[in-house]
Amino acid sequence: MLFRVDPASDVGLAEQIAGQVRGALVAGDVAPGEKLPAARDLAAGLDVNMHTVLRAYSVLRDEGLIELRRGRGAQVRLDVDPAKLQLAEQMRALVRSAERLGITREQLVEQIRRARP
């Protein structure tokens, strides 16, 4: 998996890294059970602080996507469902779009309730 970050982006570096892992899972480029690069190696390759990579990995751990084990590194959990992950990414994008339009979360929830398939 190839990681890239844009220091000029409005999105933080850690979130860029986490987003790329999520995207790779959805696209099937990273499979459940696969190991991610060591934080130190990835930080050196991206020319970012190792703590930035660790923060990204912590976010992914908190989302239930990876496991972090001392001495073993980061590994994608075996029970990750790429389809559910894709839906979660779509929901995040929807919330961001609604916020840009000035729609509150409560208004968005109400609109979703009224939406027809």
Residue 1 has pLDDT above 80, yes or no: no
DSSP line for 13-62:
HHHHHHHHHHHHHHHTSS-TTPBPPPHHHHHHHHTS-HHHHHHHHHHHHH
CATH classification number, 9-80, choose in 1.20.1440.120, 3.40.50.300, 1.10.10.10, 2.40.10.10: 1.10.10.10
Looking at residue 74, the DSSP 8-state letter turns out to be: E
Distance, in Å, from the CA atom of 20 to the CA atom of 17, rounded to the nearest integer, reads: 5
What is the pLDDT at residue 59?
Answer: 96
Confidence of residue 116 (pLDDT cuts 50, 70, 90): confident
Mean pLDDT computed over 52-63: 96
pLDDT over 90 (residue 72): no
